[in-house]
Amino acid sequence: MKEPVIQDHYRVLGVAYNANAAQLKKAYHTAAKKQHPDKSTPTKAAKCTVAFQHLQAAYQTLSDTASRKAYNLEHPPIKAQWDDWERQQKIRETKRQKRRCFTQEIIIVHSENDQFKVHLHFLTARSAFFRGQAETASRDGIRFADEDDVVAAYVHFLYHDEIHTELSEAVLEAAEGSDESTIVKAEHGFLAKLYMFGEKVQDDIFCDKVITALAATIDKRDGRGGRTFPNSKVVKFIYDGTIAGSPIRQMMAEIYAENSGHHWFPHRAYEYFHPEFSYDVVREILLHRTQCPPRGKMVDLAPKWHRQKQK
C-alpha cells in the first residue's frame, strides 16, 4: 500500500500523524535545506518557491498546538488514511520479522533418543535459558534427557503456538479402543511432563499454555457426564518435579480442595500423595471455609494459575 495520497501538511513535512514537536522541527529544517529557493537553479526557482511556501505553512500550522488541533478537526480523512497506512506498515514489518526468523541459524535440539532442527530465533526470543545456551548451541547443539515426545511437543509449540498432546505415544495408545476417561488421564500425564520441561527452559508462555490445556482436558466429560481430574499418580509426579509455590502445584491443590469427595482420599492417603500436596490441600480447604470457591469451566479459571500473571 502506498502512502496517503492527500497532499496534507504531514505529508509535506514527511512526518507521521502523531509526530511530536521535536520531530516536526527536525523534518522542517531538513526539508528547508533542500527546498529553499536560494539553493535552486533559475529554471526551478518558481517551483521551489511554491514548495517552500507550502513547507512553511505546514510547519507553522502543525508546530502550534491550537492550530494543529483545528487543522486535524477540519481534515478527518487525513488521519484515517495515516492510520490505515501505519497499520499496513506494521503488518508488513511483522511479516519481515517472521521471514528473518527463518533465515537465522539452525540449532540441533537433542532429546533422549532423537534430535530436532530449530531456528535459533524461536528459542532465544522467549527463553533466558536458551539465550544462555546460544553461544555453545551452534557448535554442539542443546541436549536434553527428556523423552522424545516432550521435546517434539515443545518444538511444535514454538512454530505453531499450540499444545499438541497427540504427539505423545502414550496418548495415542490410550486412544486405541479406550474410553474418553483413559485418554484424558494419559493427556494429564503428558501435560505434566510438558509443564516441567517448560519450567526447565524458563518459558513462561509455554507453561501457561500447558496450564490452559490441562484445564481444558479436565473440562472434557466422560461417558457418565463427569469430569476427569488428574489422579494421584499425576499429582505426585507434578510435586516431585516442581518446587514449592509452582503455579501447577497451586492448581492441583485448589482443584482437589474445591472439587474432591471423600473417595478421592482413601485410607493411608499419604502413601498415594506427596506430603506437601496434602498440606496444600488442607490449607486450601481451610481457606475456603470462609471464602466461596470459584465455579464454572476449569479452562475459564486457568489464567489464575498462569506464571506470567504471578510475576
pLDDT in tens, 53-110: 888 888 888 889 888 888 888 777 666 777 777 788 788 877 776 666 555 678 888 8
pTM: 0.65
Over residues 189-198, the mean pLDDT reads 95
d(CA 216, CA 211): 9
* Cα distances (angstroms) measured from residue 281 to each of 130, 158, 250, 260, 295: 35, 34, 9, 10, 17
Quick one: what percent of the chain has pLDDT higher than 70? 83
Hey, what CATH class is 9-102 in? mainly alpha
Nearest to 31 by CA among 59, 71, 63: 59
pLDDT at 264: 55
Q: Enumerate the domain spans of the chain.
A: 9-102, 104-145, 146-309
Give the per-residue pLDDT at 87.
80
| Grid cell 489464575 in the structure block, residue | 304
- C-alpha 28/C-alpha 36 separation (Å) is 11
pLDDT number for residue 284: 83
- Diameter of the chain measured on Cα atoms: 102
Q: What is the pLDDT of residue 120?
A: 84
Question: Is residue 193 over pLDDT 90?
Answer: yes
- Please write the tens of the pLDDT for every residue from 133-162: 877 776 778 999 999 999 999 999 998 899
Which range among 75-89, 178-192, 241-255, 272-286 shows the weakest confidence by mean pLDDT? 75-89
Beta carbons of 134 and 124 less than 8 angstroms apart: yes
Burial of residue 22 (CB within 10 Å: 0-12, 13-18, 19+) is: exposed
The chain-wide mean pLDDT, for the chain, equals: 81
**28, pLDDT greater than 50:** yes
Residue 141's nearest CA partner among 163, 126, 123, 160 is 123
